[in-house]
Amino acid sequence: MKRLFLLSFILLLFSNTAYSAQNENANISNSTEYTTIKKKDPKIFDKYIIKETDKTKYQQKISADNKKYSSIKNQLNNDQYNLYRIFEQIIRANNLEYQNWRIGIKRTATNVNASAGSANLILINSALYDSIYNDKDAVAFVLSHEMAHFLLNHTNKSAKIIYNIDKLEHKLKGLKYYAKSSSSKNELIYLSSISTLNIKLNRLYKKLREMELEADKEAISIMARAGYNPDNAVSVIEFFEKLPNIDTAKSSHPDNLERINNISKEISLIDKESLKNQGQANIFNSDVVSIKKSTDKYTFVMNAQKKLTLNTYVADSNETKLILKAYNYYLDDDMEQAELNFTEAFKLNKTNYAPALYLSYINEYNYLCSEDIKKLKRANYWIKKAKKLSPSDKNISKQEKDITSLLNKINK
Ligand SMILES: [Zn+2]
């Protein structure tokens, strides 16, 4: 698992309607009168919202696709077909039909692994495939992880890192040999050079481990778009944990606990429903991916769609993920979660006025529900922040006026 740098592979182990809250706030003095507090929404986050594809039309499309799958089933063995169906969903849900992908099960009873390399080849070792084949979410996670290495350009970056590691390891070997065979005076000089080399090497191995964590994170969005449950990704890492493995500063993969924590953190950041809607829309607008048997006899080709010739995949930033999550909470009237997530989004990018504007709306809404003056003051705090960032924005000016008028009322 760690002696992988001879191969140019990265080994696996290692994305309107105005909602007006009919708030049933009874006036304290008169229980028969109700106040309606309208939520403000200038819809500036509409571009992030992907609506669910029409259920009936989607089902019709799936039925038509199913007919096409039956002819592909005849060309593959059961395991290849299982792999094909999962990979095909991943490709279509993420708009990845821009090139031919090659995929296969590599025969090995002992090396529990998968790899991404040679620009378009994903191999899953039979030792790993046979261990997880009946868990579609687990297979989807493995394939999404490998796909993430391509989409994040890791295959190129890691080739350079691995080349440098090989060079330094070779040098280190030589130094260790000379240190042993030299006089005790010279030995100290050698030992200091060895320690410098080890520091350089540890940094390179750390870069490889960071790429693995990045691939795990992106895999969560990739599999969620394809309709698989990211909560089950962790089961793959838990399986790896059962394998004999020693983590050192020179491991190419992070320790499993770090991977599990990284995945859990990412799952809390994504909006599963939105990703699923996005994936369904992509599947709805695409065709069944046809296949060709490879000349090598154990891989097969997932043919590119002629319409797509460029990789247009863009990994969502953490800021985008938080804004999407916050906005959905806002639409669902969960002001506590909306406030929390917009605040986190603002912390990540203090030049974006939009979360600050919505934080002002949330606090104004909370003030109108509770008459808690602290909330109004917070609404004022956030609109001032937004104003500084975008002084000429009309929504901000309007909100500033509203908050000032509310503040004037209580100061009377
Ligand atoms: Zn990997």
CATH number at residue 396: 1.25.40.10
Flag the least confident range among 27-36, 144-153, 302-311, 316-325: 27-36
Regarding whether 391 and 249 lie in a shared domain, the answer is no
Q: How many residues does the chain have?
A: 412
Regarding whether 256 and 111 lie in a shared domain, the answer is yes
Q: Could you tell me the distance, in angstroms and rounded to a whole number, from the CA of residue 125 to the centre of ligand 1?
A: 13
HEC letters along 390-412:
CCCCHHHHHHHHHHHHHHHHHHC
Judge contact between 290 and 66, C-beta under 8 A: no
Task: Report the distance separating Cα 361 and Cα 354, nearest Å.
Answer: 11
Flag the least confident range among 137-146, 173-182, 386-395: 173-182
Q: Could you tell me the distance, in angstroms and rounded to a whole number, from the CA of residue 205 to the centre of ligand 1?
A: 13
**40 is a domain residue:** no
Whole-number pLDDT of residue 4: 37
Q: Could you tell me the distance, in angstroms and rounded to a whole number, from the CA of residue 403 to the centre of ligand 1?
A: 51
Q: Could you tell me the distance, in angstroms and rounded to a whole number, from the CA of residue 208 to the centre of ligand 1?
A: 9
Judge contact between 187 and 121, C-beta under 8 A: no
Q: Could you tell me the distance, in angstroms and rounded to a whole number, from the CA of residue 212 to the centre of ligand 1?
A: 5
CA 86 and chain centroid, separation: 18
**249 is a domain residue:** yes
Q: Could you tell me the distance, in angstroms and rounded to a whole number, from the CA of residue 171 to the centre of ligand 1?
A: 27
**343 is a domain residue:** yes
| Average confidence score pLDDT of the chain | 89
Q: Could you tell me the distance, in angstroms and rounded to a whole number, from the CA of residue 163 to the centre of ligand 1?
A: 17
Q: Could you tell me the distance, in angstroms and rounded to a whole number, from the CA of residue 87 to the centre of ligand 1?
A: 17
Higher-confidence residue: 38 or 218? 218
Task: Report the distance separating Cα 322 and Cα 168, nearest Å.
Answer: 41
Regarding whether 283 and 331 lie in a shared domain, the answer is no
Please classify residue 197 by burial: count the beta carbons closer than 10 Å to its beta carbon, then call 0-12 exposed, 13-18 middle and 19+ buried: middle
Whole-number pLDDT of residue 248: 77
**39 is a domain residue:** no
Q: Could you tell me the distance, in angstroms and rounded to a whole number, from the CA of residue 149 to the centre of ligand 1?
A: 7
Query: Tokens 């104004």 appear where?
Result: 364
Among 248, 275, 302, give the residue marking a domain's end. 302
Q: Could you tell me the distance, in angstroms and rounded to a whole number, from the CA of residue 293 to the centre of ligand 1?
A: 26
By residue range, what is the domain housing residue 249?
Answer: 9-14+53-302
Q: Could you tell me the distance, in angstroms and rounded to a whole number, from the CA of residue 218 to the centre of ligand 1?
A: 11
**73 is a domain residue:** yes
Regarding whether 375 and 295 lie in a shared domain, the answer is no
Whole-number pLDDT of residue 411: 84
Q: Could you tell me the distance, in angstroms and rounded to a whole number, from the CA of residue 288 to the centre of ligand 1?
A: 27
Confidence bin at 21 (pLDDT 50/70/90): very low
Count of helix runs (H) and strand runs (E) in the chain: 14, 8
Q: Could you tell me the distance, in angstroms and rounded to a whole number, from the CA of residue 13 to the centre of ligand 1?
A: 6
Whole-number pLDDT of residue 28: 39
Q: What are phi and psi of 262, to 5 degrees?
A: -60, -45
Regarding whether 275 and 241 lie in a shared domain, the answer is yes
Judge contact between 164 and 135, C-beta under 8 A: no
Tally of domains in the chain: 2
Count the alpha carbons within 13 Å of 264 in the hemisphere toward its beta carbon. Answer: 10
Among 247, 273, 302, give the residue marking a domain's end. 302
Whole-number pLDDT of residue 34: 52
Q: What is the pTM of this model?
A: 0.86
**29 is a domain residue:** no
Q: Who surrounds ion ligand 1 at CB < 5 A?
A: 10, 12, 14, 212, 215
Query: Tokens 């089950």 appear where?
Result: 232
Q: Is the pLDDT of residue 297 over 70?
A: yes
Q: What is the pLDDT of residues 374-409, one digit of tens each?
A: 999 999 999 999 999 999 999 999 999 999 999 999
**28 is a domain residue:** no
Q: Could you tell me the distance, in angstroms and rounded to a whole number, from the CA of residue 115 to the centre of ligand 1?
A: 7
**177 is a domain residue:** yes
- How much of the chain exceeds pLDDT 90, in percent? 74
Confidence bin at 50 (pLDDT 50/70/90): confident
Can you state the angle between helices 184-225 and 256-269, rounded to 10 degrees?
A: 40
Q: What is the pLDDT of residues 363-383, one digit of tens each?
A: 999 999 999 999 999 999 999
Task: Report the distance separating Cα 299 and Cα 389, nearest Å.
Answer: 54
Regarding whether 159 and 61 lie in a shared domain, the answer is yes
Q: Could you tell me the distance, in angstroms and rounded to a whole number, from the CA of residue 258 to the centre of ligand 1?
A: 14
Q: Is the pLDDT of residue 7 over 50?
A: no
Element (H, E) at 122: strand 121-125
Give the residue-averaged pLDDT of 227-248: 89
Q: Could you tell me the distance, in angstroms and rounded to a whole number, from the CA of residue 106 to the centre of ligand 1?
A: 16
Whole-number pLDDT of residue 13: 44
Q: Could you tell me the distance, in angstroms and rounded to a whole number, from the CA of residue 75 to the centre of ligand 1?
A: 30
Task: Report the distance separating Cα 103 and Cα 322, nearest Å.
Answer: 34
- Among 7-11, 122-126, 271-275, 292-296, name the most confident range: 122-126
Q: Is the pLDDT of residue 17 over 80?
A: no
Q: Give the contacts of 122 (CB within 8 A, at least 6 positions apart).
A: 87, 101, 102, 103, 104, 114, 115, 116, 143, 146, 147
Whole-number pLDDT of residue 35: 59
Q: Could you tell me the distance, in angstroms and rounded to a whole number, from the CA of residue 137 to the centre of ligand 1?
A: 17
Q: Which structure tokens are listed for 143?
A: 């394939």
Give the residue-averaged pLDDT of 1-23: 37
Give the residue-averaged pLDDT of 185-202: 87
Whole-number pLDDT of residue 9: 39
Regarding whether 298 and 321 lie in a shared domain, the answer is no
Judge contact between 191 and 179, C-beta under 8 A: yes
Confidence bin at 212 (pLDDT 50/70/90): very high
CA 325 and chain centroid, separation: 14
